[in-house]
Homo-oligomer: A and B are copies of this chain.
Amino acid sequence: MARITESPGTEPPPDSPVRQRRKEARPGELAAAAIEMFIEKGFAATRLEDIAARAGVSKGTVYLYFDSKEALFKAAVEAGIIPALEAGEALLAENGHPADVLLREFMRRWWDLLGDTPLGGLPKLMLAEVRNFPEVAAWYHERVILRAMRLMGAILDRGVAQGVFRAVPPESSVHVLFAPMLTLLLWRHGFGCCGLGDMPPPQQYLDDAVDILIHGLAAGSAAGVRP
């Protein structure tokens, strides 16, 4: 599982002086520790001291880099998203494939690059805290969600243009295409992580989902379906 920065869990390797100087690295380590805990327990239930502990520093140190718990929250979310956005851009460049192939490829790479990462918990966190952090949510909506939707919309359009997909209502369809991905994420960071879940392995699930969706969108699939 990819790590946001090099693991904050493994203690500063050989030199173990407690008081370290890492001005450069600290904000990143703290932000990483923070999102992980916020994702786990939610904003309110996460104690600043625990974040500090997970990052291997003391309570006061957090305030050398962030003005408040809220500021840390915002910074952690935004910092966590940057790799996500960049990874998304890279996928955008993908070209030439027929839309159905592209869609399958898109989901697979999304899973490896984002879904299967601590950041995969972000949607759950944002969902839980929209009401408490409308500005952060708005930012996330604009920078992440809309962007992703536009990307998916482009794939869909291309498919229709290529004659690979039939004409479906674009807005609804984009949401439907994202639904299994979102569900997978939420499951994983929700019920799935307490021994509860019972779900096929992610890759398998995504492939199965893409299969149903592609069949559902396929140009020739209308025959014999009741309206």
Contact = CB atoms under 8 A, between A and B. Distances in A.
B186 A131 contact: no
A12 interface: no
Interface string A117-138: 0000000101111111010011
Interface stretch (A1-9, A17-25, A166-174): A166-174
Q: Is the interface of A mostly helix, strand, loop or mixed?
A: helix
A207 to B, nearest CB: 8
A129 B189 CA distance: 11
Taken together, the copies of this chain in the complex come to 4
Interface stretch (A53-61, A67-75, A216-224): A216-224
A190 interface: yes
Sorted nearest first, the 10 A-B pairs with minimum C-beta distance are A216-B216, A44-B44, A172-B208, A128-B128, A179-B179, A212-B216, A179-B183, A215-B216, A44-B45, A221-B221
Nearest to A46: B44
B220 A141 contact: no
Interface stretch (A27-35, A81-89, A107-115, A195-203): A195-203
B172 A205 contact: yes
B209 A172 contact: yes
Interface residues of A, number: 66
Interface in A144-197: 145, 168-169, 171-173, 175-176, 178-180, 182-184, 186-187, 190-191, 193-194, 196-197
A193 B141 CA distance: 12
A197 B126 CA distance: 13
Contacts of A173: 208, 212
6 contacts: A42-B43, A100-B226, A127-B191, A212-B213, A215-B215, A215-B217
